[in-house]
Chains A and B, each alone.
Chain A
């Protein structure tokens, strides 16, 4: 498919979608004529179709939509009231627009329909005249200037220039699909033509005169081409079409047919031989590449399901690890392992496969801009060059579709308002040729599309004045407005800096479309401009792909997920390597100085305990900036599913969303870009160990000490309690590991030591000790095993899991007391 075909296809798909919506909107508008939103939406449809059709050279369609836009614009501003009469005209024009689009779809040309009558009525409505009733008579005078009225085939109704263009196009179309497709659509074309009421209204004489005139001006080559086109259009399947019946086929009225057929025949004769052969090849080619159009909703649904599957897989892996730990060496484990790894492998593959079905290179959108720039520069009489980079950047289909429109509007704006006329540029000391750069690249979790022009830039004063004139802002608002806010004015509906309405811009609708569409994608628009130097627009759109790779880090008891795309490296440093420069923490990373920030300072994590000599630094990179994020622990890499925090908690600085981990808990996802911004203003507390002193604080009496007894046997607990009661120490009991963990987590007491039995239901002593030691703040909490297991292996396991003492049952109360006192440094503090 050549470039034009591709753009045309996009245009048609988009237009029909818009029109579908339009039908509903119009019905609504009749009941609520005052609904401004609705009017705005209808207006935008007309505007968008006009914009696209003008650069595709569909002059008739552009002509029509331009007038529609005019009337809708007036209605939107309340300058005319939409009454039944005006509504009739609008509806008529929309029907005509639909007919034109159908025609374009079937014949690749918008010729052949007369719009001038409708345009006249539209203008009449604009001027407030009583709308003229639709009368078929209006068609007649037009015939001379619009030879498209000829009903036989629209190709013979073409002007010279159009035929030339058509020939050129045909030559370029060697691609198999294109021809096959056109052949396939031909039957439709003929039926449409037959249904067209306009044609039958023509007199024989007119048709004849027209045919003769055309034949006179067309050279032989053009005639041959035209005939071949005609045959191709009209007869899709028979391998050897005979020209005569072909020409007759589409004719609705017998009289003109009889006359037209002989005229076309001689010209058509040489054609079949040339055209049929490639067509057969085409048919073969079409069968090779098979595609299915799938509703995006189905893909979205699939993606959601896979998100849930990934969560399930993560949980399964976690459970498998737990089971493995508990039943080490059992035979069934291997089988379980195999199943888990197969499930996880398939899930990953499935996820990638579905993601790929949704990915498209952004070049698909960018490709239509060179042509657009060329046309615009000619129309505006400016010299403009387009510089595209990063067209291979892949992104989700939904985004590719959504950004097309905004980009068209931004680029048109840059051409019309940004780039100056050649003379002005030279006078300003710039190159006569203006440049517009179009870039796409990934930045962390976002894709950035940048449109940079070297035009005249945005004048904030002028923007404010205009906005005040239009009543969009008050004088007071204008005074307090920052430059960025002033740039943002161009996105207000109804705002325009153009002195007059041209066919390119000036209605103040384009940038409104940009903003609406980008917001729909949760994207950001960042405008930078320097007066006289140019404007840069940065569209930052999140990759809505819901599943990403993330690095999980821990700080105290909290975990955070950092998108792996932003992580450059991780380093382990000792605290001595952190320097303070002007109140900011920095470290030397090879030849660079890297500024550091503690994740706890960003997310207000209470620093309970932190006495380790080492720290982990996650080096984050975003565009040109880098920062070192200090974390307590690195957990590892994991696939996470991004979930929104919902309406209630949206927009929290530094948090991009949340995910559900294998254990069912929620982990927050770090927004790296926001984190970097926050790091600039955060007061550093790196290396500040003030927190721990407070904790150990005042122990004024024996009851300030607190010990937890964990044992499943009531007798054992009572024995321990009896042994320790005399000291006056506060004692808390738990019947197993799970309960002990819960008591610890509640934080009602600050424990100085724990006495732990090894054999317990639900969670045994070793597991409990290991769990406790996972928490930073309990790193130094003495854990004392009290057990009847006296084997050497048992002792070793105790040490491994973090126990400091090992008391074997039976024991004397004094012994227990002494061990406890020693470990909690009892009396030393009193």
Chain B
């Protein structure tokens, strides 16, 4: 487990104290930056977060899939979220991370620009996805509002869905 994750967990456990009774109304998310925007996914759908490692290109797949990498003996696809969201790809920096997400049996790694923090968000603060996108197509689960910012919450199963 990376240090960041440990810190995040530590932070959460301290935050947990005192509001146990409200736990049902709160969603725990992990926030990250892709391009200019902040996104978040439920913490339970994250298998792990790792630093970038080398990956192998796979032919005949869309360019947003960078290839496959070896995660302790499993071959896992690597998807660049920048390209997936239509942004220009960027070189990996010191802050680049791979978030390994899982939904059921599907597992994939996603390249993100930078992690922000673990977010505890009351359900009432989460609004629906903007209506401009059709319900079946959207990868957006909802939009979370906090005092100073807006976080787009993504559907993990949609991200892991093969669409080519």
B57 neighbours in A (Cβ, 8 Å): 558
Binds A, one of B3-11, B34-42, B81-89, B103-111: B103-111
Q: Select which of B55, B68, B91 is within 8 A of A649 by beta carbon.
A: B68
Interface residues on B, range: 20 to 34
B76 at interface, CB cutoff 8 A: yes
Q: Looking at the complex, which one of B56, B61, B107 makes contact with A558 (CB distance below 8 Å)?
A: B56
Interface mask (B150-164 → A, CB under 8 Å = 1, otherwise 0): 000000000010100
- Complex Cα spacing A746 to B92, Å: 9
B27-83 residues with Cβ-Cβ distance < 8 A to A are 54-61, 65, 67-70, 73-77
Shortest Cβ distance from B104 into A: residue: A647
Taking CB atoms, residues of chain A closer than 8 Å to B74 are 643
Give the docked Cα–Cα distance between A602 and B160 (Å).
Answer: 27
Chain B residue numbers with a CB within 8 Å of A602 are: 59
Report if A664-B59 is in contact (Cβ < 8 Å); known contacts: A648-B77, A649-B77.
Answer: no
**Contact mask for chain A residues 630-664; partner B; CB cutoff 8 A; 1 contact, 0 none:** 00000000000001111111001111001010001
Q: Which of A308, A604, A645, A746 contacts B75 (CB 8 A)?
A: A645
Contact B70 A660 (CB under 8 A): yes
Residues on B with beta carbons closer than 8 Å to the beta carbon of A646: 75-77, 106-108
Q: With contacts A648-B77, A649-B68, A748-B91 known, is A665 near B56, CB below 8 A?
A: yes
What's the minimum C-beta distance from A363 to chain B, rounded to whole angstroms? 36
Q: Is A395 an interface residue, CB under 8 A from the partner?
A: no
Closest to B106 in A: A647
A40 within 8 Å of B (CB atoms): no
A666 on the B face (CB < 8 A)? yes
Q: Give bound CA distance, A387 to B62, whole Å.
A: 48
Asked whether B59 lies within 8 Å of A603 as measured between CB atoms, the reply is yes
Which residues in A have their C-beta under 8 angstroms from that of B73? 308, 311, 660
Q: A604 — nearest CB in chain B belongs to which residue? A: B59
Complex: chain A residue closest to B92, CB-CB: A746
Taking CB atoms, residues of chain A closer than 8 Å to B68 are 645, 649, 658, 666, 668
The residues of A that contact B105 with a CB separation of less than 8 Å are 647
Report Cα–Cα, A665/B61, bound state, in Å.
Answer: 19
A652 to B77, CA, bound (A): 13
**Known pairs A658-B68, A665-B70, A666-B69; A604 contacts B77 (CB<8 A):** no
A685, CB-defined interface residue at 8 Å: no
Q: Which of B55, B56, B108 contacts A648 (CB 8 A)?
A: B108
A601 to chain B, nearest CB (A): 10
Closest-CB distance, B6 to chain A (whole angstroms): 24
**Judging by beta carbons under 8 Å apart, are A653 and B77 in contact?**
no
- CA gap between A367 and B57 in the complex, in Å: 47
A667 interface residue per 8 A CB criterion = yes
Chain B residue numbers with a CB within 8 Å of A660 are 70, 73, 75
In this complex, the member of A308, A652, A668 whose beta carbon has the largest number of chain B beta carbons within 10 angstroms is A668
B56 adjacent to A654 (CB under 8 Å): no
| Residues in A neighbouring B162, C-beta threshold 8 A | 647-649
From A311, A652, A746, give the contact of B91 (CB < 8 A). A746
Query: In the complex, are the beta carbons of B58 and A668 less than 8 A apart?
Result: yes
Chain B residues positioned under 8 Å from A604 (CB to CB): 59-60
Q: Give the residue name and chain of the B residue nearest to A605 (CB).
A: B59
Min C-beta distance of A712 to chain B, whole Å: 21
Q: Are A645 and B58 closer than 8 Å at their CB atoms?
A: yes
- Contact indicator B70/A664 (Cβ below 8 Å): yes
Question: Nearest A residue to B163 by beta-carbon distance?
Answer: A648
Closest-by-CB residue of B relative to A643 is: B75
Smallest beta-carbon distance A135→chain B, Å: 52
Q: Bound complex: CA of A660 vs CA of B91, how far in Å?
A: 25
Give the interface centre of A652, A655, A658 by most chain B CB atoms within 10 Å: A658
Q: Give the residues in chain B near A746, CB-CB below 8 Å.
A: 91
- Least Cβ–Cβ distance between B55 and chain A, in angstroms: 7
Inside 8 A of A605's CB, which chain B residues have their CB?
A: 59
Bound CA span A644–B91, Å: 28
Of chain B, the residue at the smallest CB distance from A558 is B57
A616–B106 CA distance with the chains assembled, in angstroms: 39
Q: CA separation between A653 and B61, bound complex, in Å?
A: 10
User: In the complex, how many residue pairs between chain A and chain B have their CB atoms under 8 Å apart?
Assistant: 69
Query: Within 8 Å CB of A748, what residues of B?
Result: 91
Contact between chains at A658 and B75 (CB < 8 Å): yes
Residues of B within 8 A of A648 (CB): 77, 106, 108, 160, 162
A650 (CB) vs chain B CBs: closest residue: B162
Residues of B within 8 A of A667 (CB): 56
- Minimum CB distance partner of B105 in chain A: A647
Complex interface residues of chain A between 416 and 467 (CB less than 8 A to chain B): none
> In whole Å, how far is A340's beta carbon from the nearest beta carbon of chain B?
20
* Contact flag A654-B60 (CB < 8 Å), given A643-B74, A647-B105: yes
Q: Which residues of A contact B69 (CB under 8 A)?
A: 666
Pairwise interchain contact B54-A665, C-beta atoms closer than 8 A: yes
A652 partner residues in chain B, CB cutoff 8 A: 58-61
Q: Which residues, 646 to 705 on A, are CB-close (under 8 Å) to B?
A: 646-649, 652-655, 658, 660, 664-668
Q: Which residue of B lies closest to A641 (CB)?
A: B73
Please indicate the chain A residues that have their CB under 8 angstroms from the CB of B60 in the complex: 603-604, 652-654
**Considering the chains assembled together, what is the distance between the CA atoms of A147 and B75 in angstroms?**
64
Q: Contact: B77 with A666, CB < 8 Å?
A: no
How far, in whole Å, are A746 and B65 apart by their CA atoms in the complex?
17
Q: Which residues of A contact B61 (CB under 8 A)?
A: 649, 652
Interface string of A303-322 (1 = CB under 8 A from B): 00000100100000000000
Chain B's closest residue to A651 (CB) is B162
Instruction: Give bound CA distance, A668 to B70, whole Å.
Output: 12
Which of B57, B61, B70, B162: most chain A CB closer than 10 A? B70
For residue A603, which residues in chain B have a CB less than 8 angstroms away from its CB? 59-60
Chain A nearest CB, measured from B85 CB (Å): 18
Q: How far is the CA of A603 from the CA of B74 in the complex (A)?
A: 23
A665 to chain B: which residues have CB within 8 Å? 54, 56, 70
Most buried by A among B59, B74, B76: B59
A residues 146-174 in Cβ contact with B at 8 Å: none
Q: How far is the CA of A673 from the CA of B107 in the complex (A)?
A: 28
| A603, A644, A646: most-surrounded residue (chain B CB, <10 A) | A646
Bound form: Cα–Cα A308–B70 in Å: 13
Q: Which residue of chain A lies nearest to B79 when distances are taken between CB atoms in the complex?
A: A648
| Minimum Cβ distance to chain B for residue A547 (Å) | 14
In the assembled complex, the Cα of A664 lies from the Cα of B55 at a distance in Å of 10
Which residue from chain B places its CB closest to the CB of A664 in the assembled complex?
Answer: B70
Interface string of A595-630 (1 = CB under 8 A from B): 000000011110000000000000000000000000
Chain B residues in 8 Å Cβ range of A647: 105-106, 162
- Shortest CB-to-CB span from A771 to chain B, Å, is 14
* Distance A417 CA – B61 CA, assembled complex (angstroms): 43
Once the chains are docked, how many angstroms separate the CA of A407 from the CA of B69? 40
Distance from A56 Cβ to chain B, minimum over Cβ atoms (Å): 40
Among A311, A603, A645, A666, find the residue whose CB has the most chain B CB atoms closer than 10 A: A666
A604–B162 alpha-carbon span in the complex (Å) = 21
CB A129 to nearest CB in B, in angstroms, measures 48
In the complex, how many angstroms separate the beta carbon of A558 from the nearest chain B beta carbon? 7
Minimum distance in angstroms from B86 CB to a CB of chain A: 20
Closest chain A residue to B108, Cβ basis: A648
Query: Please, how many angstroms separate the alpha-carbon atoms of A666 and B110 in the complex?
Result: 17
Enumerate chain B residues within 8 angstroms of A649, measured Cβ to Cβ: 58, 61, 65, 68, 77, 162
Q: List 26 A-B contacts (CB under 8 A).
A: A308-B73, A603-B60, A604-B59, A645-B75, A646-B76, A646-B77, A646-B107, A647-B106, A647-B162, A648-B106, A648-B160, A648-B162, A649-B58, A649-B65, A649-B68, A649-B77, A652-B58, A652-B60, A652-B61, A660-B73, A660-B75, A665-B54, A666-B67, A666-B70, A668-B56, A746-B91
Give me the interface of B with A, judged by CB distance under 8 Å.
Answer: 54-61, 65, 67-70, 73-77, 91, 105-108, 160, 162
| A-B contact sample (16 more), CB < 8 A, given A605-B59, A648-B106 | A558-B56, A644-B75, A646-B106, A646-B108, A647-B106, A649-B68, A649-B77, A652-B60, A653-B60, A655-B59, A658-B75, A660-B70, A665-B56, A666-B69, A666-B70, A668-B68
The 7 A-B residue pairs with the shortest CB-CB distance, nearest first, are A603-B59, A666-B56, A658-B75, A643-B75, A648-B77, A604-B59, A666-B70
